[in-house]
Amino acid sequence: MPELRQNIATKEWVIIATERATRPEELVQPLRPTTEDRPEWEEGCPFCPGNEELDLEVMRIPERDPWQLRVVRNKYPALELEGERTRTFEGVHRQISGVGYHEVLVESPLHNTCPALESAIEVSLMLEAFKIRGREIAQDQRIEQIIYFKNHGDRAGTSLVHPHTQLIGLPIVPYSIRARAEEARRYFDDTGRCVLCHMLSDELKGDQRVVAKSKFFAAFIPYAALSPFHIWILPRRHESNYLNATAHELADLGGLMRRVLRKLYVGLRDPDHNYVIRSAPLHDLGPEYLHWYVTIVPRVTRSAGFELGSGMFINVARPETSAAFLREVDED
Ligand SMILES: [Zn+2]
Ligand SMILES: [Zn+2]
C-alpha cells in the first residue's frame, strides 16, 4: 500500500508510491548533449570572458584578470536596487514597493562546466562569494530575506546555460518561509529541541537515507521527500544563519556539494535541477530554533494538477531506494 508521509519540519505531506515505485534506473535522463558537451567559450554569451558587461559588475575574484568568479547585477532584475520601501494597504489590496537585490554569480570563466565538474575549491569559492554578498546586503535595512538559488537546465527554469547561481534580496519574508519558521518555533517550545537537529541525528542513526557525509555536514534524502532524489544537506553544527558559517565549514561544504552533485550528474546523466540555500530571515534569525541548510531538487519527473490542487506531492521513488542508488554511484 502507498504511504502518506509528513515532514515534521515543514509539515508537508507526500504520497510515497511503494508498490509501483519507479526504479532509480528508470529516472536516468535520456541520451542528449550534457554540460561538458558544450563549447568552452561561446561568442554570444554575456558571461564568457571577453563579453563581460562591466557596468553590471559588483565584484570579481581575483580582482585582476583572469577572473575565476564574478558577481553581476541581473540585467533584467526582478527588483529595483534604488528606492524606498513603502507599504500601501488599501482595503483588500496590499502592496510594498519592489526594492531589493537581484544578482548573478558567474561561477566560472568556462561555458561548459557546473559544480559537478568543478573542483571542491571552486565550489567553496562560490559559497564564500555568496557569504560576502549576503553580509553586505544584510546591512541594508530594507531587506528582510535573501534567497540563494541555482537553476540548472530547461526544466529547472534556466535561461542562460553558462554556469551561474542567483541571489535575490527581498523586502519581505515570503509566506512559506514564515510558516516554516513558526513550525520550528512551535517544535522548539514543545520539545526544547531544534527540529532539524533532531531530524539530522535521527537520519544519521538509521543511515538508510544518507547519501554522503563530511566532517561538518551530512546529505540525505528526507523521510518525506517530495520528489525523487530531493536532497537536504545540513550543517552538523546548529546555526540559523548561513552568513555565520565559518571558512572551514564552507570549504568542507564545497567538497560535499561537489560530491553529491557529481553523484547526480554521473548517476542520472546530468539531470536538470535546482538548489537553494535556506537561511533564516535577516531580522528574525530565530537562533535557537532555525537551522540553515541546502536543498537540491532534481527535475526528473513533472508535477501537475494534483500538486496544484492539494499542495501535496506524489513521489514515485522511495527515498530509501533513491539514497541507496546514489550511495553506490562512484563520483570520483
Ligand atoms: Zn558562456
Ligand atoms: Zn539545529
- pLDDT tens sequence across 172-189: 999 999 999 999 999 999
Residue 197 CA to ligand 2 center (angstroms) comes to 4
Residue 105 CA to ligand 1 center (angstroms) comes to 13
Q: Point out the ligand nearest to the CA of residue 201.
A: 2
| Per annotation, catalytic residue among 102, 111, 162, 164 | 164
Cα separation, 15 vs 86, in Å, equals: 42
Mean pLDDT (the chain, rounded): 95
Residue 34 CA to ligand 1 center (angstroms) comes to 15
Residue 46 CA to ligand 1 center (angstroms) comes to 6
What would the mean pLDDT of 205-233 be, rounded to a whole number?
A: 97
Residue 194 CA to ligand 2 center (angstroms) comes to 5
pLDDT of residue 200: 97
Answer yes or no: is pLDDT of 20 > 80. no
Q: Point out the ligand nearest to the CA of residue 52.
A: 1
pLDDT of residue 21: 74
Residue 152 CA to ligand 1 center (angstroms) comes to 14
Q: Point out the ligand nearest to the CA of residue 46.
A: 1
Residue 255 CA to ligand 2 center (angstroms) comes to 22
Angle at 64 between CA 61 and CA 68, to 5 degrees: 35
Work out the pLDDT band at 65, boundaries 50, 70, 90.
Answer: confident
Q: Give the environment of ion ligand 2: residues with CB less than 5 A.
A: 194, 196-197, 238, 291
The CA dihedral of 312, 217, 163, 169, to the nearest 10 degrees, is 70
3-state secondary structure the chain: CCEEEECCCCCCEEEECCCCCCCHHHHCCCCCCCHHHCCCCCCCCCCCCCCCCHHHEEEEECCCCCCCEEEEECCCCCCECCCCCCEEEECCEEEECCECEEEEEECCCCCCCCHHHCCHHHHHHHHHHHHHHHHHHHCCCCCCEEEEEEEECHHHCCCCCCCEEEEEEECCCCHHHHHHHHHHHHHHHHHCCCHHHHHHHHHHHHCCCEEEECCCEEEECCCCCCCCCCEEEEECCCCCCHHHCCHHHHHHHHHHHHHHHHHHHHHHCCCCEEEEEECCCCCCCCCCCCCCEEEEEECCCCCCHHHHHHCCEEECCCHHHHHHHHHHCCCC
Residue with C-alpha cell 537581484?
A: 102
Q: Poorest-confidence range of 5-14, 86-95, 120-129, 153-162?
A: 153-162
3-state secondary structure 129-182: HHHHHHHHHHCCCCCCEEEEEEEECHHHCCCCCCCEEEEEEECCCCHHHHHHHH
Residue-wise burial string across 26-50, b where 16 or more C-beta atoms lie within 10 A, e elsewhere = ebebeeeebbeebeeeeeebebbee
Q: Point out the ligand nearest to the CA of residue 195.
A: 2
CB atoms within 10 A of CB 173: 16
What would the mean pLDDT of 301-313 be, rounded to a whole number?
A: 85
What domains can you pick out in the chain, each with its CATH number? 3-82+89-328 (3.30.428.10)
pLDDT of residue 175: 96
Work out the pLDDT band at 18, boundaries 50, 70, 90.
Answer: confident
Answer yes or no: is pLDDT of 104 > 90. yes
Answer yes or no: is pLDDT of 274 > 90. yes
Work out the pLDDT band at 144, boundaries 50, 70, 90.
Answer: very high
pLDDT of residue 332: 79
The tens digit of pLDDT for each residue in 132-142 reads 999 999 999 99
Residue 233 CA to ligand 2 center (angstroms) comes to 13
Q: Point out the ligand nearest to the CA of residue 50.
A: 1
pLDDT higher for 157 or 182?
182
Cα separation, 197 vs 239, in Å, equals: 10
pLDDT of residue 321: 95
Work out the pLDDT band at 67, boundaries 50, 70, 90.
Answer: very high
Cα separation, 213 vs 219, in Å, equals: 6
Count of alpha carbons within 13 Å of 37, Cβ hemisphere only?
6
Name residue 95's beta-bridge partners.
88
Residue 235 CA to ligand 1 center (angstroms) comes to 32
pLDDT of residue 17: 85
What would the mean pLDDT of 231-251 be, rounded to a whole number?
A: 98
Q: Point out the ligand nearest to the CA of residue 111.
A: 1
Answer yes or no: is pLDDT of 125 > 90. yes
What would the mean pLDDT of 38-43 be, rounded to a whole number?
A: 96
Answer yes or no: is pLDDT of 165 > 90. yes
Give yes or no: 164 in active site. yes
Answer yes or no: is pLDDT of 303 > 80. no
Residue 109 CA to ligand 1 center (angstroms) comes to 7
pLDDT of residue 305: 84
pLDDT of residue 22: 83
pLDDT of residue 158: 87
